[in-house]
A and B are shown apart, each in its own frame.
Chain A
């Protein structure tokens, strides 16, 4: 990336109708999103000012429902028009681009050729491997397009559970052989770095946080063993759930629409997957931080977890068993166990800590060796 001076940059920004004040405010938001102190805002401002051109991004859509694009265009920190007009150069995105047909596809291949090695590739949707023509674009299969674009990309950001782990269509019996991007590329011996941002849909704040990290700090964020940024996927929903106190005290919703629901009790017994789901939902929420699933009285379905459609199926039934102080127990027993433990003088939060992160396979992210950049 070439450099230019700060004053040149501000001048060009002002021409775009963005004031210096707006810009610094944006940098402050960026700092917060990266988990940095506000003191970093001037550094971020400097990093952006030094960019001579907007970084080129291509967004590929494969086996998906466009929900992740829809989620992305709801971005509010910063708003999506700023992202596509002033921050990134969105070279290809079927759902928003003006061109169509061959002319649209030409934009993709032009970007691949022109920006070879500099391209950031965002992928929404899974790759079809068993029925390759279950997804085609411009006469090419997802396998063919992904292979070609991956080779020209500096990094790939897989957004949403379809792109990270095959998603909905990969649920058993996976009729089309849908797989996530990382799995597909590695099977082809392609080693382009992949960042996984699972979620059904992806949270727009997580996309922006990742892109900003990459642009401003010029490196990938620290990743766990499943290539997820540690700062975004490091804790379970249960760890940070505002209803956690009710869990610890054994107060549960047993039926929707009940008095317990209106009191905001814990949703564990109606199927909440929060204890097994690594996600920053409780902090960033959704739709301009308006609300989230648990806030609407509904149990988390664990959509940030790989293979959640199968791993967590029977969504309205409680997680089959929970390891509590080393002993596996069922939902019905949990309240009793907690009551007994509390009576015995054990602090409720201690039991809570014993429960967290021990369910199903989702512990993988913590147990195994982590990836660094």
Chain B
């Protein structure tokens, strides 16, 4: 049988615009191409602007994880200006990151990723165990009976890859509806310090603009504890309930088994290697060899398969990076040039090799760095699913799903400590929230920080008080990079290799792998 190529465009339930093409032979994916179908030209727009404006622009790289992009930009400028934010600013930034992180992963688990595992139509035939579940079922039934299926229409309902019993499908549907409220509550908590979400406004280079009252701190805490309750009482039990049905996801989706984290959630010393999720790299699944990351030397970009002029690539570090679009595809990108250029994303590499970021990388690197909470969570989960000590089963699609939930738990346990530290500082009379500084005329800056879905690195050069260059390498540039000049696939492309596809007309299995990266 001849190989068959299928295209999924648009990939739905993601941030951004993505086209995935896979080649199938013998019921499995044998080749894959990812194409980001959006180009905006941020780097070109930022040139010549007042440097601090970059922190506002950077939020708009991703409206789902803007807080991380904003913080990365501020840190890049803090590096350029030689300023360190005070401890209170560190804590408030951590608290705003935490609320974004919890909302983001809850949103992903239920709303973006959930329909890949939960058959909402099957939920209609469940025998509801509680009154609440009965109400949810009636609500969904009324929706379906109306004949206006709207956003639930034309999906893969009834696909044999949906493995859950009707009762579990109903329970997860109820959690879906509940999660919408909870994720908004997490955002409300973030807005206590950030003004609003998306696009918090209060973390410019130097610290934070908000000087919170104790009432505001208590308000944040109250809301976040409700989110934590949801995580403990609903999210984690939901994961553990469905895990046995989908454990086979350990068998594929592993990609290159190379993981990278810039680190996120600062410790008191603001050292990237001491963050709650520390900086580091693990290549080819070698957990024993945790590597340091040199942002100026280890990272390079290639454009042999990307729609940029050649001088934008060749392995140059983003500190010298160039953005010069050169679209050579067909108008509308209906078909791609499989051998040539096919992506608006550059191929970014760590020491010349593809590496993925995100919760799996963060948990594994935390684990390898000796983080006690990471060890406890990972080891405990492996034991609970009957695979004690088998860390290698996490090098898979299963690993990405599980790690995201474990990470939520780790952050939900950490934020109360930062609240305590903040209150202790204020009690001691520490009222420093912002460090003032002089705007340097000429400087360079670099920063690495992790968004919920992976690595962010920002590089800048300031000349005459204006931005000469700004290069951002966001999370999906790592995870959804195309082939590099050597023809090596990007992480998500590689993760698709070997994935079984029962029905090429309804490639649910492919969607799962793509969504496991939370693009």
Q: Is the CB of B17 within 8 A of A135?
A: yes
Q: Is the CB of B192 within 8 A of A99?
A: no
Most buried by B among A91, A110, A136, A297: A136
CB of A358 within 8 Å of the partner chain: no
Q: Is the CB of B196 within 8 A of A291?
A: yes
CB of A320 within 8 Å of the partner chain: no
CB of B138 within 8 Å of the partner chain: yes
Q: Is the CB of A90 within 8 A of B150?
A: yes
CB of B184 within 8 Å of the partner chain: yes
Q: Is the CB of A101 within 8 A of B45?
A: no
Q: Is the CB of A95 within 8 A of B14?
A: yes
Q: Is the CB of A201 within 8 A of B63?
A: yes
* Interface set, chain B 388-425, CB cutoff 8 A to A: none
Measured CB to CB, the nearest residue on chain B to A144 is B332
Interface size on B, residues (CB 8 A): 99
Would you give 24 A-B contacts (Cβ < 8 Å), ordered by A? A16-B139, A53-B146, A69-B63, A84-B150, A88-B150, A89-B148, A94-B10, A95-B14, A98-B12, A100-B8, A100-B10, A101-B12, A101-B507, A131-B327, A134-B325, A168-B45, A168-B60, A176-B39, A201-B198, A262-B211, A291-B195, A296-B191, A296-B194, A301-B201
Q: Is the CB of A261 within 8 A of B209?
A: yes
In the complex, A71 Cα to B184 Cα: how many Å?
Answer: 9
CB of A36 within 8 Å of the partner chain: no
Q: A37 to chain B: closest CB distance in Å?
A: 28
Given contacts A133-B333, A175-B44, A257-B433, is CB(A101)–CB(B10) below 8 Å? Answer: yes
Q: Is the CB of B188 within 8 A of A288?
A: yes
Contact of B198 among A70, A136, A176, A258 (CB under 8 A): A70
In the complex, A324 Cα to B517 Cα: how many Å?
Answer: 54
CB of A172 within 8 Å of the partner chain: yes
* Interface set, chain A 238-264, CB cutoff 8 A to B: 255-258, 261-262
Q: Is the CB of B50 within 8 A of A173?
A: no
CB of A7 within 8 Å of the partner chain: no
List of 5 A-B pairs having minimum Cβ-Cβ separation, nearest first: A67-B63, A257-B434, A296-B195, A175-B41, A286-B196
Q: Is the CB of A292 within 8 A of B196?
A: yes
Given contacts A66-B63, A97-B12, is CB(A89)–CB(B150) below 8 Å? Answer: yes
CB of B7 within 8 Å of the partner chain: yes
Q: Is the CB of A131 within 8 A of B12?
A: no
Contact of B434 among A88, A144, A255 (CB under 8 A): A255
In the complex, A135 Cα to B195 Cα: how many Å?
Answer: 31
Measured CB to CB, the nearest residue on chain A to B508 is A100
CB of A106 within 8 Å of the partner chain: yes
Q: Is the CB of A138 within 8 A of B9?
A: yes
Q: Is the CB of B63 within 8 A of A134?
A: no
Q: Is the CB of B204 within 8 A of A65?
A: no
Interface stretch among A22-30, A222-230, A310-318, A345-353? A310-318
